[in-house]
Structure 1
Amino acid sequence: MQCVKPINESLVHPERRKRVLAIVGDTQVGLWVVRSMARNGVTVHAIVNTPDGQSAHSRYSASAWTLDNRPGKPGFAEEIEELARRLDVGSIMPVSEAYHNALISVRERFEPDIHLFSPSRELFDKSTDKDYLQNLCVELGIPVARGLRLDELMEQHGGEALAFPLVLRTRRQNIDAGKVPLKAAYAENRAQLDDWYEKFRDFADNVIVQEYHPGAEEHVQILMHNGEPFATGDYIGEHHMPLAGGVTVQRISCHHQAVIDDTVKLLKALGWQGIAGVQFHYDPESARYIFLEINPRFSGGLPTVVMAGFEASFLLWQSHFEPDRMRKKTYRVGLRTRILGGDANWVLGHLRRDLLPPGQKHLSPVRAIATFLWNCGPWTKDDSFLWSDLKPFFVDLKLMVKKLGARGHDIIGHPGA
């Protein structure tokens, strides 16, 4: 491991339980995990992917480190344990699914001495299995797209059981092989479905195919505590990168009670405890929606959620260490935030005429550029910018220039990303 930001002893809390090792990566999501806890009196030591990790440059991180070993590699667990004990922390808080998955498998190395903010193995596996969740939603009466595994669709039904257009996604994310090399692939006719089947044939049992429903992505960040929802914050994804179905690079906070009610119903059925991000497709015109997936972690729109009033990482920490002191704030609806570099690449995607989801049309060059410039006004917040913590924004600005033109965007700090 390497120390990329020396320990600031003035930020180290004397109580061990108030010291956290947060595995945050290089992104805005990890930065707001740090900010939310540190602004509320918790010491945060950050693990970043590179010295350019935004949290390594934040005044709120007590120190920052990079690891020699990635999840799944020999020595990973030993390295995390060595750092956690060197810093004498009371807990470990991962951000990306890869780190959750790896740490859950070695949980006994840490607990009960060092608390791990990750779900159980059973819950993690269920929450990342889209096929299982689709069947559970049907049982619970939660709207969900009709779907089948790709191998079932093609081999048992001849590709004729679902109505076009179709969307193809990885069924189980956390296995080493058999992932769709896109967040989402689309088939608008039988010929396109056949082409995708040929490409995915070797792992067709790990691809779920669903009927495509139009609408915007709605994400619900939720904290379940003692079997009940303690706090929620939802937002609509306005811009994505890639255009065809990528991460949200611009979003606006909202509140749709029916969506939240179904989120709670689903997580209660799972027996969920802790943080989760639940994703839907929501049609603003009809208010109809369908369930898409659960992310057993902080949502990619965490900057929006925290700025709107839901201190997700701090409340998660409190839920274990001081639950009697947990307090909710009013959640602000209509707050718009964006990733500056991601939104710049969203404009370039429209100029290049990148692939779009079925039924959508590209903006004209003038409108795409005008939309980007309009959102440079103070009515749209930047995911990194904070007057009391300016340096991460300038680090992000420097990296934005390097990544201009990229067709994808990482928001949750994937290892090595």
Structure 2
Amino acid sequence: MERLFIANRGEIAVRVIRSARELGLRTVLAVSEPDEKSRAAQLADEYRLIGPAPASKSYLDQSAVLAAALDSGCDAVHPGYGFLSENARFAAAVMEAGLTWVGPSPEAIELMGDKARARDAARRAGVPILKGSEGAVGHGEDLLAEGREIGYPLVVKASAGGGGRGIRLVATEQELVPTVEVAQAEARAAFGSADVYLERFLGRARHVEVQILGDGQDAIHLGDRDCSMQRRQQKILEEAPAPALPDAVRERIQQSSVELARECHYRGLGTVEFLYDPESHEAAFIEMNTRLQVEHPVTEMVTGLDLVREQLLVAGEGKLPLSQDQVQFRGHAFEFRLNAEDPASGFMPSPGTLERLDWPGGPGVRIDSGFVAGSVVAPFYDSLLAKLIVWDASRAEAIARSLRALDEVDVEGVKTTLPLLTALIQRPELRDVEHHSKFIETTPGLLGDVA
């Protein structure tokens, strides 16, 4: 591997460029027309224009992206996260063109992309799973019988869904059939497949996940994270390691995640996600994300590892670059996703020009961003401005340092989620680990307080 094509934008493109250059790789970046003057385009050795602003005509245009990678003489493609990162067809096309795909095999992507099949694979690997339907649901009385067997409330999930999309809550049996019909129509429109399945609902559960790294034969874990602070089922604040997790639960989800990676011959970085019920101490499999996660920096902070570097080494050398006993954990880290959104107005996007942009510094403070002062936040893409990552020796110290770092952030020109992040890190529920994945939307007055 000598020339790496990066099929992404923003902070993750910057992140990959830095790790690649430290490994001596030249980088070529895919850019849309609005991104030609971006920070990532400035840092890459070269860039290739792949299309106009809409993602469907640029970053999601598989033929344009692959043609640019081949035309630029690259021998590998890194998809980042989002866009084409979990597209099995694109991964296969990259490999068929003779390029190295920095990610899992198309077969593993396809398997884990089908949430019903992923549940079956998890069951075979000994991963704890929530009670639910065996594969896609049926119709009529069969569907109602499945609902009674699982119990209410339950959730309907799109088999091909992901990222918190394609999920609907069902409180009673009377709601099941119409909800499934609506979910099937939505799933067909959004994911190209109408298959949905049922799963028991945990109302006040925490969202925990395990980072794994595999080479197609063996696998290791790189610890766990808690991603329970979410809005609209999208993560906004993460931490590592997952706090207040019983040792037995932590060991089980870590080891079973490794077994799942081995079961599907997983290569590269992946994340196995769970719901954890603090009352019953039950952890249950949700899904496996077959890519680099947005929240990977908190794992880097507590392990001292460069996860993108490890990902590139596995792709290039075909074997794990380190063993499980070489992975050491130290301290505690938080990640705050600073988005150009208005929390007081339903998280409406807030595009515009960044008239001022000052980031915090000091020991244990890191900023991952694709923007500088004067940059334009375009309305065409994800609203993420930056990730503020904070580390300290203990969770309490990391909370104190986070509050100081958030206070130093200064952004002018767009509205941001900074007031919400500042409010969340001060909540006693977070300090005492009493928060859950529905905390933001079920806490009265929280969003009003940050107006």
Give TM-score, length-normalised by structure 2: 0.64
- Alignment correspondent of 2:44: 61
The separation in 2 between residues aligned to 1:164 and 1:325, in whole angstroms, is 43
Residue 213 of structure 2 is aligned to residue 223 of structure 1: yes
User: More deviation in 60-69 or 285-294?
Assistant: 60-69
- Alignment correspondent of 2:445: none
- Alignment correspondent of 2:111: 126
Give the letter for the 2:240 counterpart: S
Q: Select which of 286, 290, 311 maps to 2:284.
A: 290
Q: Select which of 227, 231, 237 maps to 1:237.
A: 227
Give the C-alpha shift of residue 157 in structure 1: 3.8
Give the letter for the 1:47 counterpart: A
Contact 1:339 1:383 in 2 (8 A): no
Could you say what secondary structure the match of 1:217 adopts? strand
Call closer, same or farther: CA 1:98–1:81 in 2, change over 3 Å: closer
The separation in 1 between residues aligned to 2:374 and 2:282, in whole angstroms, is 37
The separation in 1 between residues aligned to 2:37 and 2:344, in whole angstroms, is 24
Contact 1:151 1:205 in 2 (8 A): no
How well do the aligned residues superpose, as a CA RMSD in angstroms?
4.0
The separation in 1 between residues aligned to 2:225 and 2:150, in whole angstroms, is 30
- Alignment correspondent of 1:145: 130
Q: Select which of 78, 93, 103 maps to 1:106.
A: 93
- Alignment correspondent of 1:263: 257
Contact 2:50 2:64 in 1 (8 A): yes
Gaps of 5+ in 1: 1-16, 174-178, 351-375, 406-417
Kindly provide the CA deviation profile for residues 313-359 of structure 1, in whole angstroms up to 9, marking residues without a partner as x.
211111233468935664444200111127x6567659xxxxxxxxx
Q: Select which of 73, 88, 92 maps to 1:88.
A: 73
- Alignment correspondent of 1:358: none
Residue 372 of structure 2 is aligned to residue 391 of structure 1: yes
Kindly provide the CA deviation profile for residues 336-384 of structure 1, in whole angstroms up to 9, marking residues without a partner as x.
0111127x6567659xxxxxxxxxxxxxxxxxxxxxxxxx998995652
Q: Select which of 159, 162, 185 maps to 2:150.
A: 162
Give the C-alpha shift of residue 139 in structure 1: 3.2
Give the C-alpha shift of residue 110 in structure 1: 2.1
Give the C-alpha shift of residue 211 in structure 1: 0.4
Give the C-alpha shift of residue 300 in structure 1: 2.7
Q: Select which of 200, 218, 235 maps to 1:248.
A: 235
1:340-379 correspondence to structure 2 within 5 Å: 340-341=338-339
By relative contact order (CA 8 Å, sep 6+), the higher-ranking structure is: 1
Could you say what secondary structure the match of 1:384 adopts? strand
Contact 2:220 2:258 in 1 (8 A): no
Give the C-alpha shift of residue 301 in structure 1: 1.3
The separation in 2 between residues aligned to 1:240 and 1:379, in whole angstroms, is 27
Structure (1 or 2) with the greater strand fraction? 2
The separation in 1 between residues aligned to 2:268 and 2:320, in whole angstroms, is 16
- Alignment correspondent of 1:315: 310
- Alignment correspondent of 1:304: 298
Give TM-score, length-normalised by structure 1: 0.69
Q: Select which of 197, 208, 231 maps to 1:208.
A: 197
Contact 1:220 1:279 in 2 (8 A): yes
Call closer, same or farther: CA 1:180–1:89 in 2, change over 3 Å: closer
Contact 1:337 1:383 in 2 (8 A): no
Give the letter for the 2:263 counterpart: A
The separation in 2 between residues aligned to 1:280 and 1:292, in whole angstroms, is 5
Could you say what secondary structure the match of 1:160 adopts? helix
- Alignment correspondent of 1:38: 21
Call closer, same or farther: CA 1:216–1:399 in 2, change over 3 Å: farther
Give the letter for the 1:206 counterpart: D
Kindly provide the CA deviation profile for residues 79-118 of structure 1, in whole angstroms up to 9, marking residues without a partner as x.
334422343222111133635334234245421xx21224
Kindly provide the CA deviation profile for residues 128-148 of structure 1, in whole angstroms up to 9, marking residues without a partner as x.
111112223333332111112
- Alignment correspondent of 2:426: none
Gaps of 5+ in 2: 243-249, 348-359, 377-384, 387-410, 419-451
Contact 1:147 1:209 in 2 (8 A): yes
The separation in 1 between residues aligned to 2:278 and 2:20, in whole angstroms, is 34
Give the C-alpha shift of residue 296 in structure 1: 1.3
Call closer, same or farther: CA 1:382–1:249 in 2, change over 3 Å: farther
Give the letter for the 1:232 counterpart: L
The number of equivalent residue pairs is 349
Call closer, same or farther: CA 1:325–1:194 in 2, change over 3 Å: closer
The separation in 2 between residues aligned to 1:54 and 1:382, in whole angstroms, is 24
Give the C-alpha shift of residue 76 in structure 1: 4.6
* Percent identity for Structure 1 against Structure 2: 17
Call closer, same or farther: CA 1:155–1:22 in 2, change over 3 Å: farther
